[in-house]
Amino acid sequence: MNPKERIEQLRKEIEEHNYRYYVLNDPVISDFEFDQMMQELMQLEKLHPEFQDPNSPSNRVGGAITKLFPVFVHKHPMLSLSNTYSRGEIAEFDRRVKEGLGLRISDPVDYFCELKIDGISISLHYEKGMLAHGVTRGDGEKGDDVTHNVRTVRSIPLKLKGDFPKELEVRGEIFMPKSVFLRLNEEKQKAGEPLLANPRNAAGGSMKMQDSSEVAARKLDCFIYYLIQSEFDIKTHHEGLQKLRSWGFKVNPHSRLCRGLEDVEHYINTWKDKRYDVDYETDGVVIKVDNLKYHSELGSTAKSPRWAVAFKYKAEQASTVLEDVSFQVGRTGAITPVAHLKPVRLAGTIVKRASLHNADFIKKLDLRIGDTVLVEKGGEIIPKIVEVDLSKRSLFSTPVEFISRCPECGHELIRKEDEAQHFCPNEDACPPQVKGRIIHFASRKAMNIESLGEETVELLYERGLIRDISDIYKLSREQLVKLPRFGEKSASNLLEGIEKSKSIPFEKVLFALGIRHVGETIARKIAIHAGSMWKLMQMSEDELLQIPDVGQIIAQSIRRWFSKKENTDLVHFLAEKGICMEMSKSDLPKENHAFINGKSFVISGVFHRISREELKKIIEMNGGKCPSSVSSKTDYLLTGENPGPEKVNKARQLGIKIIDEREFAEKTGLI
Between the CA of residue 15 and those of 68, 158, 334, what are the distances in Å?
29, 8, 45
Region 270-281 average pLDDT:
90
pLDDT, residue 504, reads: 93
pLDDT digits (tens, 9 = 90+) for 208-231: 887 787 888 889 999 999 998 766
Answer whether residue 193 shows pLDDT above 70: no
Name the pLDDT band for 63 (thresholds 50, 70, 90). low
Q: What is the mean pLDDT of the chain?
A: 87
79-82: Cβ within 8 A, 24+ apart: 79/140, 79/300, 79/303, 79/304, 79/305, 80/137, 80/140, 80/303, 80/304, 81/286, 81/304, 81/305, 81/308, 81/309, 81/310, 82/303, 82/304, 82/309, 82/310
Contact indicator for 551, 518 with CB cutoff of 8 Å: no
Is the pLDDT at 475 greater than 70? The verdict is yes
Q: Over 80: is that where the pLDDT of 669 sits?
A: no
- What pLDDT is stored for residue 586 in this prediction? 60
What pLDDT, on the 0 to 100 scale, is given for residue 420?
Answer: 83
| Strand-pair category, 83-84 with 167-175 | unpaired
Least confident of 118-132, 201-215, 314-328: 201-215
Q: How far apart are CA 667 and CA 671, in angstroms?
A: 10
Residue 650's pLDDT is what? 86
Q: Which residues 6+ apart lie within 8 Å of 603 measured at CB?
A: 67, 68, 612, 615, 616, 626, 638, 640
- Predicted confidence at residue 292, as pLDDT, reads 93
Q: Which of 116, 159, 243, 288 is catalytic?
A: 116
Residue 36 has pLDDT above 90, yes or no: no
How far is Cα 129 from Cα 167, in angstroms, rounded to an integer? 8
Question: Is 100 within 8 Å of 298 (Cβ atoms)?
Answer: yes
The predicted model gives 158-187 an average pLDDT of 90
- Spatial separation of the C-alpha atoms in residues 20 and 559, rounded to whole Å: 55
Could you give the CA distance from residue 571 to residue 440 in angstroms, rounded to a whole number?
Answer: 16
- Tens digits of residue pLDDT in 527-586: 988 889 999 999 999 999 888 778 888 999 999 999 999 999 999 999 999 999 998 766
The more confidently predicted of residues 622 and 241 is: 241
Active site residue 116: yes
Q: Over the stretch 20-33, which tens digit does the pLDDT of each residue have?
A: 776 776 777 776 67
Q: What is the pTM of this model?
A: 0.57
Q: Is the pLDDT of residue 199 over 60?
A: yes
Domains and CATH numbers, the chain: 3-52 (1.10.287.610), 83-184+196-312 (3.30.470.30), 316-424 (2.40.50.140), 431-503 (1.10.150.20), 506-576 (1.10.150.20), 601-668 (3.40.50.10190)
pLDDT tens track for 388-407: 999 999 888 889 999 999 99
Convert the pLDDT of each residue in 403-424 to its tens digit.
999 999 999 999 987 788 899 9
Check pLDDT > 60 for residue 448: yes
Query: How high is the pLDDT of residue 618?
Result: 83
What pLDDT, in 10s, does the model give residues 65-122?
A: 555 678 898 988 898 888 888 889 999 999 999 999 999 988 989 999 999 998 999 9
Query: What percentage of the chain has pLDDT greater than the value 90?
Result: 48
DSSP strands (E only) in 580-627: 601-604
Cβ atoms of 62 and 42 within 8 Å: the answer is: no
Lowest pLDDT segment from 60-74, 121-135, 349-363:
60-74
Query: CA-to-CA distance for 123 and 253, rounded, in angstroms?
Result: 20
Rounded CA separation 321/374 (Å): 9
Q: Which whole-number Å values give the CA distances from 139 to 86, 121, 520, 548, in the listed order?
A: 28, 12, 31, 32
Q: What is the per-residue pLDDT for 194?
A: 67
pLDDT tens, residue by residue, 424-446: 999 888 999 999 999 999 998 89
Euclidean distance between CA atoms 466 and 162, whole angstroms: 57
Selected residue with higher pLDDT from 198 and 530: 530
Distance (Å) of CA 494 to CA 498, 503, 510: 6, 15, 22
* Coil, helix or strand at residue 427: coil
192 pLDDT tier (thresholds 50, 70, 90): low
Strands 601-604 and 636-639: parallel
| Mean pLDDT of the region 464-472 | 94
The per-residue pLDDT for 348 is 67
pLDDT higher than threshold 60 for residue 592: no
- For residue 630, pLDDT beyond 90: no
Above 90 in pLDDT, residue 452? Answer: yes
Assign 378 a pLDDT band (cuts: 50, 70, 90): low
pLDDT for the residue numbered 588: 54
